Chains A and B, each alone.
Chain A
Amino acid sequence: MSNLSTESFVIQEDQGSSLWQDAWIKLSKNRLALFGLAVLVSLIVISLLTPLIAPYGYEEQNLDMGATAPSLQHWLGTDIFGRDMLTRIMYGGRVSLMVGFIATAVALVIGILWGAIAGFYGGRLDAIMMRIVDVLYALPFMIFIILLMVVFGRNILLLFLAIGAVEWLTMARIVRSQVMSLRNQEFVEAAHSLGLSQWTIIRRHLIPNTLGPVIVYTTLTIPSVMLLEAFLSFLGLGIQPPESSWGLLINYGVETMEEFPWLLIFPGIALSLTLFALNFLGDGLRDALDPRTSKD
C-alpha cells in the first residue's frame, strides 16, 4: 500500500494539550485553590519535620509557669502544664493529618473497588451491591462509631477503620455513577467493538476517565474525615492522651476558655484553616476538572 520502510522527511508534530494539562492551567488561575494547595503542602512538610523543628519537646512541662499568654519564648502561649502550645499544635496536626489521610485512603480503596465493580458489571450484582450501600447509608453511623469506640477501647487503628467505614459509601456511589455513565459512552463501545479485552478497556478507557471525580472527592473527604475525628476526640472518644489531636486540644481549650482563651483559639484556627484550605482546593479541583469550563 505505502512505503513503510523509510520516511523521506520528518513531519513537525504539534504538541497536544491533554485534559490534565488544561486542568492544571485552570487550577493555577484559581487563587483560592492555590492557597489551599499551598496550605496543604506546608502542613504536610511541617508535620513530617515536626520532631526536628518543634521549638520544645512534646512532653516538656513547666509546672511553675503554668498557662501563659503568647510571648516571645512561646509564640502561641503555654497550657496549664506549661507545655508550649506551638509544639502541641504541631504534634496535634501530625495526628489529625495522619488520621485524615489514612482514613481517607481506607475509604478510597473500598469505595473505588466497590463502585467500580458495581458500575462495570451492572445488572444484578450492581443492584445487590448498591442496595447494601443504600441500607448502610441509612444507618446512624455516628451512633455506631461511638459504640465501637466505647466498646473496643480507643484504639487508633480502630478509629481509622471506623471513620473509613463511614466515608467509603459516598465514594462508592460516585465511582459507580461515573463508571456507569462511562460504560454507555460510545468510545467504550468502540473499544468493545475493536475486540479489546475487559481488562484493557478498564485500564485504558475507564480508569483514566474516572480519576477526575475521584481526585476531587478524595480532596473533599480529607477535611470531612478530620472533622469527624475532631468531633470524636472532642467527645473523648477519639485520640487519647498522651497523643493529642486538634480535636482533643480544642476540648481542653473549652474547659479553660474563660481564663485562657488562647488555648481554644489557636487549635481552633489551626483546624479551621486546614479545613478551609482543603475545601477550597477541592472546589478548585472540581471546577478545573470540569470539561465544561474553559481554560482561558
Chain B
Amino acid sequence: MAILEVSGLKVYFHTRNGVVKAVDDVSFSVDSGETLAIVGESGSGKSVTCYSLLDLLPKPPARIEGGTALFNGRDLLTCTPAEMRQHRCNDIAIIFQDPMTSLNPYLTIGEQLIEPLIYHPDKNKIQTRTDAKIAAISLLDEVGIIDSQTRFDCYPHEFSGGMRQRVMIAMALITEPKLLICDEPTTALDVTIQAQILELIKKLQVTRNVAVIFISHDLGVVAGIADKVLVMCNGTVRETGDTDSIFYNTQNDYTKKLLSAIPEGAKTLPNRANTDETLVEVTDLKTYFKNQLNPSKDEDKRFVKAVDGISLSIARGEILGLVGESGSGKSTLGRTILQLAPTTEGSVKFSGEVLTGLTPNQLVPWRRKMQMIFQDPYASLNPRMTVFETLSEPLLYHGLANKNNIASHVRQLMDDVGLAQSQLRKYPHEFSGGQRQRIAIGRAIATKPEFIIADEPVSALDVTIQAQILDLILNLVEKHNLTMMFISHDLSVVRYISDRVVIMNKGVIVEQGDTEALWGSPQQAYTKDLLAAIPLADPKSERARISNR
C-alpha cells in the first residue's frame, strides 16, 4: 500500500545562467514499511527530489514546474504553508548529511528534541515540556545514546559525529512520522560508525514501521537495507526496480556503469615492488602539535599526538596503502614524510639519505623526487593561475625546461593526464572536480619524481570519475615506474590499488601486511571491525551481515 506516490515531478532552477532542470519527470512510489534507495552521482537530482516534497528548496531560484506528490492521497506540492507544517510534523521527517552543521550549536540537544512536540502545529498534539522531555529521553535511549538523562542538557559540540547523527534520527522520529527521508546520512561518517547508523535505521524502521527513502551516491551502502532502488542521473530516472534485480540483473547501461565503477576485489596489476631496494624508511616517527584550544597542565593533554611512533618502509616500485579513519593521523604521516609538517622525533630516510633535520634549502633537490597529490581538487590549485602556469611552474623552477621548450613539455603533461591541450589557458574554476584532479596529478608528475604520496585523491569525486582517476594513477605508476603511498579511508579503493597495506589508528600502526593476506585473515580486532564494516555492493551478503549482528 503506497503511502507516497510521486509522478512526473519537475523541479527547475531559474538561474541567471539559464534554466537548470534539476529534476525532470521523476516518478516513484514508496509503500509503508518499505525502504526505497535513491542512488545517483552529484547533480543527479536525488536530494532536490526529496527536498521538494517538504518544501525545503530555496524558492526564488527553484520552481516546481509540474507533477504531483501524493502522500496518503494529499498532494504535497500544492498545499498551503500551514498544511505543510502539519506534514512536516506528522507525516514526513528528514535527516541530513552533515551532523556537524545540522544541529543548532546554540541550543541544547534536549531543547531541539522537544521542539516538534511543544510547538506542534496540531493543537491536539501539543505536549507540555515535562511530557516532551520524557518522550525525548526515551527516544535517546532507543537510538543508543547512553546516559540520556544528562546528555539531554548537552550542546551539540559535546557529541561526536556519529552521536550527533543519532540525535538527528531521534529528533526526526519523535513525532512518529510515517516516512523518514535520509539524505546521505552516513557519507560524512567513518566506516565503522556508518555501519552502526545503517543498522540503527534498519532496526528503527522495523520497530516503528516507518517507510524510508535512503539517498546515497554509494551503492554499497544501500545494498543491505533497500527493498527498492531508484537510479537517477542528471535529473531523470534511469532505472527502478527491486534491489536484487538492480544489483544482479540490470540491463541499463548507466546502472552497469555505476556498478562497475565500484572498486571491487584485489589489485589486478602485478606487484612491481623491488624488495631489495628500500626507497622510503620511516623510523619511530612522532609528530606532536601543541593543543591550542585546551592548554592544560596535564602532559598528556598538552599535545595532539597526531603521529605517535611509526616505523615503516616502502620498497621501490611498491604501492603502499595507508588506511585509517578520520583523526587517525594518516594525512599528518604523509605530510611529515614529505617534510611538509614538522617532525617532533624520529627520522625519515629517502634513498638512504636522512631528510629529517635538513634545512628548506637543502631539501630543494629532494623535493623534485617526491611529490604529493592532495585530496581537495578545489583547494589544491591556485585559483589565479592558469593550467599552463600551474604545470610550468615546477618545470621552470627546477630548471627542467626553459622558455623555449616549456610549451611542449606542458602539452605532453596534458596528454599524460588525459586533458585536452586546448584547455591550457583556462583557470581552475572552469573545470570539473575530476579534471582539476588531473591537473593536480599533472603537477605532481611534472618533475619526474620517484615517490608520490596520494592523500585521499579520489575521496571528493563521484564514483564514475573516481574509477577513471584511479586507473589514471595506476597507469602513470606503471609508465613512470613510480613508488606510491596511497592514503585513504575507503578500504575498497585501497584494496584495489595497493600491494601492501598499513592500518593506522590514533597515530600508531595497528597492523600491516600484504593486501590480500590482510583481507583474508586480519589479526587485530580493530582491523577485523574495519573490514567487517565495509559496505559491499552485494545485497545478499549485506543483508546476511546485518541480520547476523
Point out residues on A near B: beta carbons under 8 Å: 1-2, 4, 7, 11-20, 185-187, 189-198, 200, 204-205, 208-209, 291, 294, 296
Contacts and interface: CB of A to CB of B under 8 A. Distances in A.
Contacts of B372: 189-190, 193
A194 B427 contact: no
A16 B386 contact: yes
Interface stretch (B82-90, B417-425, B521-529): B417-425
B459 to A, nearest CB: 13
Closest 6 A-B residue pairs measured CB to CB? Answer: A195-B367, A16-B426, A186-B380, A296-B17, A186-B374, A195-B364
A194 B17 contact: no
A4 B408 CA distance: 6
A12 B379 CA distance: 28
B393 A14 contact: no
A14 B426 contact: yes
Contacts, number: 105
Given A14-B422, A15-B425, A16-B425, A194 B430 contact: no
Interface string B196-237: 000000000000000000000000000000000000000000
Nearest to B431: A16
Interface in B381-414: 381-387, 393-394, 397-398, 405, 408-409, 411-412
B147 to A, nearest CB: 36
Nearest to A12: B422
A79 B268 CA distance: 92
B10 interface: no
Contacts of A296: 15-17
A189 B381 CA distance: 10
Contact of A7 (B363, B368, B408, B427): B408
Contacts of A14: 422-423, 425-426
Interface string B335-369: 10010100000000000000000001001100110
Contacts of A15: 425
B427 A19 contact: yes
Contact of A4 (B335, B397, B405): B405
Nearest to B448: A1
19 contacts: A2-B408, A4-B405, A4-B409, A13-B425, A14-B425, A16-B426, A18-B386, A186-B375, A186-B376, A187-B379, A190-B372, A190-B380, A190-B440, A193-B370, A194-B367, A195-B364, A209-B383, A209-B384, A296-B17
B447 interface: yes
Interface residues of B, number: 48
B393 A195 contact: no
A181 to B, nearest CB: 11
A14 B15 CA distance: 25
Interface string B168-179: 000000000000
A294 B17 contact: yes
B382 A209 contact: yes
Name, among B17, B370, B394, the residue most crowded by chain A CB atoms within 10 Å (CB to CB). B394
B379 A186 contact: yes
Given A13-B423, A18-B427, A19-B383, 5 more contacts: A4-B412, A13-B421, A17-B430, A191-B382, A194-B394
B382 A205 contact: yes
A291 B383 CA distance: 10
Contact of B427 (A4, A11, A17, A294): A17
B371 interface: yes
B382 A187 contact: yes
A7 B415 CA distance: 14
A67 to B, nearest CB: 53
Contacts of A12: 422
A78 to B, nearest CB: 51
Interface in B416-446: 421-427, 429-430, 440, 443
B422 A196 contact: no
A200 B360 CA distance: 13
Nearest to B412: A2
B353 to A, nearest CB: 15
Nearest to A1: B412
B433 to A, nearest CB: 14
A291 B429 contact: yes
A194 B384 contact: no
A31 to B, nearest CB: 15
A187 B381 contact: yes
Nearest to A211: B384
Nearest to B411: A11
Nearest to B405: A4
Interface string B1-43: 0000000000000011100000000000000000000000000
Given A4-B409, A296-B17, A193 B422 contact: no
A2 B415 CA distance: 11
Contacts of B421: 11, 13
A11 B420 CA distance: 10
A3 to B, nearest CB: 8
Contacts of B397: 194-196, 200
A190 to B, nearest CB: 6
Contact of B393 (A185, A193, A196): A196
A252 to B, nearest CB: 49
Nearest to B18: A296
Nearest to B479: A1
A20 B408 CA distance: 28
B374 A189 contact: yes
A13 B422 contact: yes
Nearest to A200: B397
A208 B409 CA distance: 26
A189 B379 CA distance: 10
A208 B375 contact: no
A187 B376 CA distance: 10
Contacts of A20: 384
Nearest to B361: A197
A209 B380 CA distance: 14
Contacts of A294: 15-17
A189 B453 CA distance: 13
